[in-house]
Amino acid sequence: MTLAKLVSTTAFLVSLVGWTSLGAGLLASAFAMPLTVVLSKHYGNAQTEQAKSHEQRSTMLTDALLAIRQIKLSTLEDTWRRKIQQCRDKELQQLFKGALWMSSLVFVANTSSVVLAGVPIYVFALQGEQVSASVAFTSISLFRQLQADISLLPLISPPIWEAWLSLKRLEVFFGQNDLDMAQFTLSDTVLLDKASITWHGTGKNERFTLKDLSMDFPEGELSIVTGKTGSGKSLLLTAIAGEARLVSGSIHRPCRFDGYKANTNDSWVATGQMALVSQLPWMANTTVRDNILFGLPFREDRYRSAIDSCALDKDFRMLEKGDFTMVGIKGVTLSGGQRWRIALARALYSRASLILLDDVLSAVDAEIRDWILNNALLGGLAQGRTRILVTHHESQCITRAAYHVHLCDGTAQVHLRPASRDAINEGTSQPLVNENSRFGGSLTATPTLNSAIRKDVDQGSSPTAECRESAIAHTPYRTYFDATGGTSSWLLVLLATATYEIVGLATSWWLREWASLGQSPYDTDHHSLSYGTFYLLMTTLSCLATAARCFVWYKIGIKASETLFGMMTGTLFGAHLQWLEETSHGEIMTRFSSDMNTVDKRLPHDVGFLIECLTKLLSILFMSASFSFYEMPICAALLYSCFAVASSSLHQYLNALQAPDGIQTVRAYSMSNYVIDQMHQLIDASSSTLWHSILCQAMIDFQLGALCALFVTSTCLSIVYADVDAGAAGVALSFAMQFSSTVVRCIQRITTVESGLHCVARIAQYKELSQEPTAGIDVPVSWPSKGSIQVNGLTAGYRTGLPAVLTNISFSIDPNERLGIVGRTGAGKSSLTLAFARLIQFRTGSIFIDDVDISSVKLDILRRQLLIIPQDPYLSAGSIRSLLDPDYIYNNDALIQSLKKVRLTVSTTNKEASYTDLLFMVEEGGRNISQGQRQLLYLAKALLSCKRVVIMDEATSAVDIETDTAVQKVIRDGLPNITVMVVAHRLATVANLNKVLVLEDGRLVQFGAPKELYRQKGVFRKLVSHSSDRETLQARFSE
């Protein structure tokens, strides 16, 4: 409210009712200010608690999405749904408290504004002055202008509190420490001098530390870093990348500069530029080619060399659009091995003089591993560049490396430099093909879960796009109507709103009678005071009706929020795994966060005020028609033009959110400015739409003001030329003056309600998600009691209309046997394991476990009775104990024994890495432990379950060979009466198992005992010949 408006309004009021009456009204209103402050504080506290519950719920949902495959395989959907719902219930409780405090605040604010208008007129009457129509209705009109501003105060509180809480969270984020690059010494070489390093973080755990490291990596050569699982290999690489904390000593590393601007240099390889291939490679949601180029200009010869060195030619030919295929969120359209090799190709294509590689050889089979070592790590693109490789394949790499660092017990024990360069060039592996030919011609691959959905992603039929398109076409009115409780709830809303409007009309009519009292010869002061007292009572009743109406709005809004959230959570956890893994987590979180927040807070308020505006508009039209029916055509024309404008209002585009999970890779490549520039372009596009929307809204407001002025003018003319008494004229003009503001608010509310209902429509799409079938037969609790497996002619795929990923697979396993599943990358090994959990569609054939067809068993029972261990387990934040035994079934001794079986215990001298402390806190995603330790921790949890059928999908791929051997011995000898299926790239992992199944292109090509398969000179023997430990395997199979 501007100062000029305040001064002019006050001057008019003083001239009408005098200083005494106006002062009495202001003084009476002032008494409500302390109560308003108290209520606002309580409302703010409720908002704060609701924000905490919301954040807790969002964190839990994020964990669930990241671990969704494990949740599906372990049938923990109901458990996670309950945990999320508990957080949601707390949030709804705070929303209800906020509704109570807001309703009280609305009552106090409206009472204050009513007192401001009613008390001056009442005092004016007490002074013996005549309350004429000119005084009463003119004063009311002026006070209403003040009331309009005062009544906005409660409505301003919610966004102010939300903005305040958002600013507090931003303050916490901005207050976090930046990476301290000053702790590193800039140099062209990589050198550590008595350096002690540890992970960044604020946890209370004693963090693992590498101490007193001294090493000098030779420039332009290949160096390798080895050590047991959890020895700190990734920490060393992270420190070189500048992402770890230097406790003492010094680290010399290249200067980090803007890699985006490096492409202006004359020389391609830029000294000081760095590239990183992390343990979990980061993929941007763009094409394969753009992921490899990463902002650099395209050079065909270098690009072709990079993809050839990484054996990607054949993979690109399998993709429908080749290297222009969209990789999807987190590389969903690619297999794990393909993501790793694309990340390696990005590093080779880059301008980096220093390349950091974290165990890139573990995700591929022996044949491709040998090719990558010869052609990528030692090939032409790698020459002259410093390469530091973390690996568990020490025997295969050590003769090729110029420098070797072995980590053990928190320090570097071995530094080896071969005596001559000849020793480095003498490899134990032979080239797979001629150096001048490409790898792609010798391999084939089969579609996987990720490759099976490439066609959908390429054609733009992503879940995000489908959801938005169908959301626009979907009518959300019925959805929201049903979610609020149906007819009974809306009848209550209409009753509350109608009561408010009727009381308002009655108050205006009573004021008219009061004003006309002064024209009667029988008027007395007693009658005037009686009318004034009753007028104050009616205005108080109007305030109560306003508060009740507000509470009803929020009540049905909370009901709708509860219903929609429960529906969305249920269908989310019941959806097919393919949809959950191919859909952007940011898109899902938008539904559960910003869209749900709109339904929680904004939509009930907007819907309620829209109903209020419409009823107010009807009352204005009713009063106008009662004096002049000829204005109705004008009103109809005005309303038609207004609502036609509202229906064509602009809507902003909402971009899917993406979590910055690739920040370490982006910083390592020094491409932060490149990513920020892309973000700025998206923000500019969004802001441009918003700016045009604001301009259009301003023009609409101007047009509405002109049209409404015409309506008021016509009302005045009607009164002048009609035989209307002063009181009736005052009522008519009083209502006519509200026409302009009411229509403007109607248009605004229609726009905001329509925007809110778009959120409802997007949420409603989750109701239509295809759900996993739950029907089936019940089986005995003891099933499977023996563990026999029979697969008959199994052909399966991920979706109808897509190619089969398994073709005519038939084999059998006797009870208590151990089966190994091997094959080249993309052969269909993981697809076979998913078939046992019915995560892919059976087209023909069947799987029997203990003579029971698994397709006939209830899905939750089937998955509960099997144990399937994934390759990349996700660990939620929590203690070791809570992760191993979330239901607290086992005692501490059982948990510690399980940890010992997988060798997740260390000597007592290295306290900070001890896992026997069950209270050791694991950070979200297992950030403070290595990938190998995450796998072993999940394996230790699996060993507690004692299932009769255990399926392990590369469950030890990231651990050292010694630990892998010990774990396999436990599985082989320490778990009697259990049938085990093991997927592995390391042939030593399956060498001692009873049988081996060899897959190629989704077909079974060999099946039998390992020694028998080796003698057949088929695919298995070829895999053995390319293995890094082939001499040991050949000796074992030749016995």
**Cβ contacts of 92 within 8 Å, gap of 6 or more:** 558, 561, 562
Q: The domain that contains 95 carries what CATH number?
A: 1.20.1560.10
Using pLDDT thresholds of 50, 70 and 90, give the confidence band for residue 137: low
Query: Taking residues 932-957, what's their average pLDDT?
Result: 82
Q: Give residue 795's pLDDT.
A: 95
Query: Is residue 431, in this structure, part of any structural domain at all?
Result: no
pLDDT-wise least confident of 274-278, 938-942, 1021-1025: 938-942
Structure tokens at 791: 């697969």
556 in Cβ contact with 492 (< 8 Å): yes
Query: Taking residues 996-1021, what's their average pLDDT?
Result: 90
Query: Is residue 737, in this structure, part of any structural domain at all?
Result: yes
Query: Taking residues 971-986, what's their average pLDDT?
Result: 81
pLDDT of 440 over the 80 cut? no
Between CA 879 and CA 917 the distance in angstroms is 9
- In a shared domain, residues 78 and 51: yes
- In a shared domain, residues 410 and 480: no
Residues in the chain: 1039
Sign of CA dihedral 1007, 1009, 1012, 1014: positive
- The structural domain count of the chain equals 4
Give the sheet arrangement for strand 866-869, strand by strand. Answer: 866-869, 949-953, 979-983, 818-823, 995-1000, 1003-1008
- Short-list 177, 353, 182, CA closest to 259: 353
Between CA 989 and CA 902 the distance in angstroms is 14
Work out the widest C-alpha separation in the chain, in whole angstroms.
128
pLDDT of 722 over the 70 cut? no
- Short-list 868, 796, 787, 871, CA closest to 831: 796
Q: Give residue 272's pLDDT.
A: 79
- Short-list 40, 254, 18, 144, CA closest to 737: 144
- In a shared domain, residues 400 and 516: no
Q: Give residue 140's pLDDT.
A: 66
Name the domain boundary from 416, 432, 464: 416
Between CA 402 and CA 24 the distance in angstroms is 92
Between CA 607 and CA 604 the distance in angstroms is 5
Q: The domain that contains 894 carries what CATH number?
A: 3.40.50.300
537 Cα distance to chain centroid: 52
Between CA 303 and CA 318 the distance in angstroms is 18
- In a shared domain, residues 166 and 194: no
126 in Cβ contact with 21 (< 8 Å): no
Q: Which residue has tokens 């108080």?
A: 540
pLDDT of 444 over the 50 cut? no
Between CA 402 and CA 217 the distance in angstroms is 9
Q: Give residue 223's pLDDT.
A: 93
Query: Is residue 800, in this structure, part of any structural domain at all?
Result: no
Q: Give residue 254's pLDDT.
A: 79
Q: Which residue has the higher pLDDT, 606 or 31?
A: 606
Helices and strands: H and E segment counts in the chain: 37, 22
Query: Is residue 706, in this structure, part of any structural domain at all?
Result: yes
- In a shared domain, residues 252 and 113: no
- In a shared domain, residues 188 and 71: no
833 in Cβ contact with 981 (< 8 Å): yes
pLDDT tens string 386-411? 999 998 888 788 888 889 998 887 77
- The mean predicted confidence, pLDDT, of the chain is 77
pLDDT of 949 over the 80 cut? yes
Exposure letters 129-154 (e unless 16+ CB within 10 A, then b): bebbbebbbbbbbbbbbbbeebbebb
Name the domain boundary from 416, 435, 460: 416
- In a shared domain, residues 626 and 496: yes
Percent of the chain surpassing pLDDT 70: 77
pLDDT of 907 over the 50 cut? no
Between CA 9 and CA 140 the distance in angstroms is 11
pLDDT tens string 735-793? 777 777 777 778 778 888 888 898 899 999 998 888 998 888 989 988 999 999 999 99
Between CA 284 and CA 994 the distance in angstroms is 42
Q: Which residue has tokens 């600013």?
A: 167
pLDDT tens string 540-572? 788 888 888 888 888 899 999 999 999 999 999
For residue 21, the enclosing domain spans 1-173
- In a shared domain, residues 686 and 824: no
Q: Give residue 473's pLDDT.
A: 43
666 in Cβ contact with 276 (< 8 Å): no
pLDDT-wise least confident of 518-522, 847-851, 965-969: 518-522
Element (H, E) at 236: helix 233-240
Cis peptide bond upstream of 784, omega within 30: yes
pLDDT-wise least confident of 174-178, 247-251, 360-364: 174-178
Q: Give residue 434's pLDDT.
A: 37
pLDDT of 647 over the 50 cut? no
Q: Give residue 674's pLDDT.
A: 75
Name the domain boundary from 399, 416, 433: 416
250 in Cβ contact with 185 (< 8 Å): yes
* CA distances for 652 relative to 181, 655, 690, angstroms: 40, 10, 6
- In a shared domain, residues 161 and 293: no
Between CA 540 and CA 581 the distance in angstroms is 57
* CA distances for 962 relative to 78, 358, 902, 958, 988, angstroms: 38, 19, 11, 12, 11
347 in Cβ contact with 278 (< 8 Å): no
119 in Cβ contact with 25 (< 8 Å): yes
User: Please, which residues bridge with residue 61 across strands?
Assistant: none
Query: Taking residues 317-342, what's their average pLDDT?
Result: 77
Task: For residue 918, count CB atoms less than 10 angstroms from its CB and return exposed for 0-12, middle for 13-18, buried for 19 or more.
Answer: middle
pLDDT-wise least confident of 3-12, 253-262, 357-366: 253-262
Q: Give residue 446's pLDDT.
A: 39
Query: Taking residues 236-253, what's their average pLDDT?
Result: 86
Query: Is residue 18, in this structure, part of any structural domain at all?
Result: yes
Query: Taking residues 109-119, what's their average pLDDT?
Result: 70
pLDDT of 524 over the 60 cut? no
- Short-list 820, 862, 838, CA closest to 981: 820
- In a shared domain, residues 216 and 164: no
Between CA 721 and CA 195 the distance in angstroms is 96
Using pLDDT thresholds of 50, 70 and 90, give the confidence band for residue 255: low
pLDDT of 459 over the 50 cut? no
- Short-list 353, 398, 350, CA closest to 373: 398
Using pLDDT thresholds of 50, 70 and 90, give the confidence band for residue 967: confident
* CA distances for 577 relative to 46, 71, 339, 954, angstroms: 37, 10, 20, 19
Between CA 810 and CA 1004 the distance in angstroms is 8
Give the three-state DSSP class for 618: helix
pLDDT tens string 483-498? 998 888 888 888 888 8
- In a shared domain, residues 23 and 131: yes
Using pLDDT thresholds of 50, 70 and 90, give the confidence band for residue 843: very high
Query: Is residue 507, in this structure, part of any structural domain at all?
Result: yes
Query: Taking residues 580-609, what's their average pLDDT?
Result: 86
pLDDT of 862 over the 70 cut? yes
pLDDT of 67 over the 90 cut? no
The dihedral over CA atoms of 119, 121, 127, 131, expressed in degrees to the nearest 10, equals -160
Give the three-state DSSP class for 906: coil
Q: Give residue 152's pLDDT.
A: 57
3-state helix, strand, coil in the chain (%, to 5): 60, 15, 30
List, as own/partner pairs, every contact residues 93-98 make where C-beta atoms lie below 8 angstroms and the sequence separation is at least 24, other chains included: 94/46, 94/47, 94/49, 94/50, 94/53, 95/46, 95/50, 95/554, 95/558, 95/561, 95/600, 95/601, 96/554, 96/555, 96/558, 97/46, 97/49, 98/43, 98/46, 98/47, 98/50, 98/554
Amino acid occupying residue 835: A
Q: Give residue 664's pLDDT.
A: 73
pLDDT tens string 789-832? 999 999 998 777 777 889 999 999 999 899 999 988 778 888 89
- In a shared domain, residues 164 and 233: no
Q: Which residue has the higher pLDDT, 268 or 741?
A: 268
Query: Is residue 297, in this structure, part of any structural domain at all?
Result: yes
Query: Is residue 567, in this structure, part of any structural domain at all?
Result: yes
